[in-house]
Amino acid sequence: MCLLCSRIVKIYIIKKEEEKIKRQKQKGGPKFQVVMKSFVVWFFLVLAGVASGHSGEQPLSNIAIHRATLALDESLAIKAYPFILAPKGGDTEWVTVHLDNPNPSHDDWVGVFSPAKFNGSTCYLENDQKQQPPYICTAPIKYNFANFSNLDYVKTGKTSLKFQLINQRADFSFVLFTGGLSNVIYLLQPKLVGVSNYISFANPKAPLYPRLALGKLWNEMTLTWTSGYNLLEAVPFIEWGRKGDPQHRSPAGTLTFDRNTMCGSPARTVGWRDPGFIHTSFMKDLWPSTLYTYKMGHMLSNGSYVWSKMYSFRSSPYPGQDSLQRVIIFGDMGKAERDGSNEYSNYQPGSLNTTDQLIHDLKNIDIVFHIGDITYANGYISQWDQFTAQVEPIASTVPYMIASGNHERDWPGTGSFYDVMDSGGECGVLAQTMFYVPADNRANFWYSTNYGMFHFCIADSEHDWREGSEQYIFIEHCLASVDRQKQPWLIFAAHRVLGYSSDKWYGLEGSFEEPMGRESLQKLWQKYKVDIAFYGHVHNYERTCPIYQNQCVNSERSHYSGIVNGTIHVVVGGGGSHLSEFTPINTTWSLYRDYDWGFVKLTAFNHSSLLFEYKKSRDGKVYDSFTISRDYKDVLACVHDGCEPTTFAS
């Protein structure tokens, strides 16, 4: 259901309640008091949910699951079907849940739990070991209100809800709660009143959700996937080769992590869910720009095999290869549910639009960079499965490269540059395990990579980047090591805005950047003639002029040629999360702003011509663009702070 539709539904319900109250008030008596109390309680519940949504919280965090009490009602019925999901294979299925409740209310909701059986005796109590364990200690993987698809539910007590489930290595149950989601009002703490039958995928342990990524060498592609098989049960591998040629097999490494690897709550507590096993294999010595096919396999202890379906990808061009090369860049996308669940707080309203536009245009995309704030799981581990399933059509076909954002890494006392709790206790573990990046140390999420005529330096804004730091040394080495004759297009990217942004909060600070953002780095961008620097974190789109030390060094707006006098800075954080407003201050270096969801596409036609396009996620159309034309000699020319001092002395 769209955001506007859900608001209309809420307004409709409020109007109906107001009419009912008016009639009861005319009659007087205790009935009016009961109805009024019910309406006030319900209204504040909705108000609390809407308010929390605008604050950008993970929707599952609105549920006071640790406060839930057991109040089973044997007179109600909750049934889910089909019982076996995807019997002929597949990783997703639509499930129907029927409710027949003799005591319905506006604040009834249905949570989807996996594993299906939950037992409070296994709860992990992080802060107070003397505390009485709650009945439920794990958040659902998604939820929806009972009246989502039927406004007459409160009158009839009957409704049907549809949920889209993905294979998450365990069975599922559907639990009816009354009393709302939150404990903002104590009387509204959730009460568990009914549990459905259990349902399961035909093969819950199947290998799923492949994620391609570039390896450390140009002719290497890595493949990461998730399964339910540990090494004692099955040996993971991939079968791959050039399309049409005999296929061969490569082994895979296996990683996982446990609750104690998490750094805090909710990742350690109500957000914890077994992540399964994450496997990574390497396809090496690839021929350039060649179509390959692959599938994931597990050899069971009895000698039989479990296979994924067949996928394909095109290998990277040789560094410097003169061919059409197309790059997608965005940040802050997150995930959303196609069944409308978890979306009452409107957390990532543009996420599916961005995903679908990329899928629609996938034949015209060669590589994707998602520069931080990947899932916004914020410590709710189940959401990483949801995200990898959402992007599977993209990540299984082209390299899906990520960067570290505050919602992946930041947690106090764990070495992050910012002493905040944005990762929900994940402290980088999920990101560095679920996705591969060609970093020397994946705990430090900075890396360099090549794609044809592009050279990328991906920074980690959640670790210190200032001059003298380990990362600063890496950044300079990355920028200095590019051969501009072969790779004329030099790109810098980081999650937080280390360059320029007209975001409202940066405007209030008067800095128009992350504190200490560009002070150390701008001389490196200038010295090594970085073409474009990309950032997320701020949830909008903005493009600057070619700039150095707060000054535009080129008056052009749509076409740039000749010597690289400054770097163009681009905020492309509108991948899907709630949008950020701009400052009303006139920043003269800002050429284009857009308060909407979108992404950037770079197209290198050859060594001399680059096309930049900003596309909106809503329609895939181009709303801002420019071109760069340049010869090799242009990047050799000296500019201010761009070359070492020279002398004619012999």
User: b/e string for 160-187 if b means 16 or more Cβ within 10 A?
Assistant: ebebebbbbbbbbbbbbbbbbbbbbeee
pLDDT greater than 70 at residue 650: no
Task: Write the pLDDT tens digit of every residue in 25-52.
Answer: 344 443 334 334 334 333 433 333 333 3
Residues 367-406, buried b or exposed e (16+ Cβ, 10 A)? bbbbbbbbbbbbbbbbbbbbbbbbbbebbbbbbbbbbbbb
pLDDT digits (tens, 9 = 90+) for 629-639: 999 999 999 99
Q: Is the pLDDT of residue 276 over 70?
A: yes
What is the pLDDT, as a whole number, of residue 343?
A: 58
pLDDT at position 129 is 52
For position 36, what pLDDT does the model report?
A: 40
Q: Name the nearest CA neighbour of 275 among 291, 290, 262, 294.
A: 262
Confidence band of 589 (pLDDT split at 50, 70, 90) = very high
Residue 53: per-residue pLDDT: 32
Model confidence at 58, pLDDT cuts 50, 70, 90, reads: confident
- CA gyration radius, the chain: 26
- Confidence (pLDDT) at 12: 38
> Tens digit of pLDDT for each residue in 201-238?
999 999 999 999 999 999 999 999 999 999 999 999 99
**pLDDT at residue 375 above 50?**
yes
Q: What is the pLDDT of residue 348?
A: 75
Average confidence (pLDDT) over 74-85:
96
Element (H, E) at 22: helix 3-27
Q: Give the mean model confidence (pLDDT) for residues 62-77.
A: 90
Structure confidence at residue 121 (pLDDT): 63
pLDDT digits (tens, 9 = 90+) for 290-312: 999 999 999 999 999 999 999 99
Q: Are 445 and 431 in contact (CB under 8 A)?
A: yes
What average pLDDT score do residues 393-405 get?
A: 98
Confidence of residue 67 (pLDDT cuts 50, 70, 90): confident
Q: What's residue 136's pLDDT?
A: 85
| 115-155 pLDDT per residue, tens | 998 766 667 766 655 555 667 889 999 999 999 999 899 99
Task: Give me the pLDDT at residue 52, please.
Answer: 31
Does position 71 have pLDDT exceeding 50, yes or no? yes
Coil, strand or helix at 210:
strand
Q: Residue 137: what pLDDT?
A: 85
- What pLDDT, in 10s, does the model give residues 154-185? 999 999 999 999 999 999 999 999 999 875 55
The pTM of this model reads: 0.90
At 21, is the pLDDT very low, low, confident or very high (cuts 50, 70, 90)? very low
**Residue 1: what pLDDT?**
31
Q: Is the pLDDT reported for residue 454 higher than 80?
A: yes
CA atoms of 367 and 615, how far apart (whole Å): 16
Report which of 406, 263, 387, 269 is spatially closest to residue 337, judged by C-alpha positions.
Answer: 387
- Work out the pLDDT band at 95, boundaries 50, 70, 90: very high
Q: What is the largest CA-CA distance in the chain?
A: 105
- Tell me the mean pLDDT in the region 481-499: 98
User: What proportion of the chain, given as a percentage, has pLDDT over 70?
Assistant: 87
39 Cβ contact list (under 8 Å, min separation 6): 17, 18, 21
Average of per-residue pLDDT values in the chain? 89
The pLDDT of residue 189 is above 60: yes
CA nearest to 610, candidates 326, 287, 403: 326
Task: Please tell me what DSSP assigns to residue 271.
Answer: T
